[in-house]
Amino acid sequence: MVTEIADSGAAGTYFPSDYIAGDPSAVVTDDSCALGDIPIIDFSFLSNGIPETRAEIVRELGQACEEWGFFTVVNHGVTEEMRAAMMDAFVGFFDLAAEEKDEYLGRRVMDPIRMGTSFNSTVEDAPYWRHFLKIWVHPLFHSPTKPTVFREVSEDYAKHTRYLAKELLKGILDSLGLGEKEMEEALDLDSCSQVLVGNIYPPCPNPELTWGIPSHSDPGLLTVLMQNETDGLQVMHHGKWVCVNALPNSFLVNLGDHMEIVSNGRYKSVLHRAKVDNQNTRISIVTAIGPSLDTVVVPAPSLLQRGNHPAAFRGIKYGDFVEHQQSSRLKEKSVLDHLRV
């Protein structure tokens, strides 16, 4: 069972039972997190081919991106069965005996399959309460060999969530007034990169002393998240942390740093973090879409021309951005901040 992870150190590293946060910013000092009125996007209206309803959803998407950088997606077309199968496959992986999965432990940050504890334990004073398995699934598809169902399930799940994310991205770029040609030139979505991450946050005896994952933004364009029944995600909204209670069978979507770059700062990546629970194991499955690793994303030229705005960001190869983010301590928007002009 995954709940045994805290005791067994099943992902390869033991958590200290007398956990003391080595990073003072890890301590949960402000837990007064309100429940937010998070925008809800009905995906079926974006993809049903009726221009009027699509235009309405594009407007709603634009508003959600401008106001929150975060929204819930319902009627997304990914079946309950597929979601459950993906959840089971990750749990099956974490439940493997150490010798069946430890080959993925402690690999280099850009390796196609990497398992670990915390975020990047080589640069942290104290671990965050999280085990993860991170897999690059597009343009090249990778999968652990065990459990045997993992390959088929993850290929299917990656394909469906990639379609969902790309359609949402097109809607979002549409809301900025970018035409299809400019979108293609800017982001080359056919060769987009996609990672699939399974996060397991075992019950923590002192949830006030650490985070599952601390405040950060994601590097890519768009992140699509599903979770088990245990909430814990918080997002920053107008300077305050908001607790996210996920609707059943929904996806939670957040904008990443490269959306902030391509939109020249109009749609900001959202800071988020995950709390741990002292009773329940939380599982989240994240799939993040970015440009291809060779692409250098810059603010869209038509946005600069239209508003006569100077570019707010320099470009950098996406692969270099991700490598830098994964090799550093996870701290808010520190990597994106380097690119501000």
Ligand X SMILES: O=C(O)CCC(=O)C(=O)O
Closer CB to Fe ion, residue 60 or residue 218? Answer: 218
Determine the interface stretch with Fe ion among 103-111, 166-174, 217-225, 289-297 (rule: CB under 5 A).
217-225
Closer CB to ligand X, residue 158 or residue 225? Answer: 225
CB of 14 to Fe ion, least distance (A): 24
Closer CB to ligand X, residue 64 or residue 213? Answer: 213
CB of 216 to Fe ion, least distance (A): 6
DSSP assignment letter at 72: E
* Separation in Å, CA 215 to CA 23, 110, 132, 187, 204: 13, 22, 17, 26, 18
Alpha-helix runs per DSSP H in the chain: 5-8, 43-47, 51-67, 80-94, 98-101, 150-175, 180-187, 257-262, 301-307, 318-327, 334-337
Q: How many CB atoms lie within 10 A of CB 93?
A: 24
CB of 286 to ligand X, least distance (A): 4
CB of 160 to Fe ion, least distance (A): 20
User: Residue 60, interface with Fe ion (CB under 5 A)?
Assistant: no
Amino acid at 174: D
CB of 37 to ligand X, least distance (A): 19
Query: In whole angstroms, what is the distance from residue 161 CA to residue 188 CA?
Result: 18
Q: Which positions from 208 through 227 interact with ligand X, judged by CB under 6 A?
A: 213, 218, 225
CB of 270 to Fe ion, least distance (A): 9
Q: Which positions from 261 through 320 interact with Fe ion, judged by CB under 5 A?
A: none
User: Residue 218, interface with Fe ion (CB under 5 A)?
Assistant: yes
Nearest-CA neighbor of 100 among 217, 12, 200, 207? 12
CA atoms within 13 A on the CB side of 14: 5
Nearest-CA neighbor of 24 among 333, 238, 331? 331
CB of 180 to Fe ion, least distance (A): 29
Share in percent of the chain as helix, strand, coil (round to 5): 35, 20, 45
Site string for ligand X, 230-249 (x = CB under 6 A): ---x----------------
For ligand X, the binding residue among 47, 72, 175, 199 (CB under 6 A) is 199
**Cβ-contact 295, 81 below 8 angstroms:** no
User: Residue 272, interface with ligand X (CB under 6 A)?
Assistant: yes
Determine the interface stretch with Fe ion among 1-9, 215-223, 226-234, 306-314 (rule: CB under 5 A).
215-223
Residues of this chain that bind Fe ion (CB under 5 A): 218
Applying CB under 6 A, the residues found at the interface with ligand X are: 197, 199, 213, 218, 225, 233, 272, 274, 284, 286
